[in-house]
Amino acid sequence: MEETGATYAENAALKAVAASTATGLPALGDDSGLEVEALGGEPGLHSRRLGPTQAARNAELWRRLAAVPRPWRARFVAVLALARPAAVPVDYFEGRVEGELLPEPRGRGGFGYDPIFLLPDLGRTFAEFPPAEKHRWSHRGRAAQALLASGVLSSIE
């Protein structure tokens, strides 16, 4: 599905509503991005569109940050949208995690920007966490925690 929304929430809702409409069942959609403080929040919604490969996306980020002194503060943002066939409006759950970008990758796990996204308090990139621990700290994990804490799932049969 093409992501035509102007926000993470709009893109997540497009996915959730399409899946719920197609199946007649509740559905979750998500959207996420990397927001770099020195770049005014970019790439944000367009995080995946910076280049054809992750190596190219990283290179483009580093090119844009070349003249900016470190630390390169950044955040990951994720929004989950829950759509139900008979329910309006869609419910939204957001997760954020603050960190810094590194000038070179570290770690072998994760995907996307994980190897260059450092959590300074923990001294590790997302690519250096085992999957279960990463989910505890990640923006998607935090959005999922917000969904679970909301109690909305208990009303879904």
Instruction: Give the active site residues.
Output: 31
Written in H, E and C, the secondary structure of the chain is CCCCCCCHHHHHHHHHHHHHHHHCCCEEEEEEEEEEHHHCCCEECCHHHCCCCHHHHHHHHHHHHCCCCCCEEEEEEEEEEEECCCCCCCEEEEEEEEEEECCCCCCCCCCCCHHHEEECCCCEEHHHCCHHHHHHHCHHHHHHHHHHHHCHHHHCC
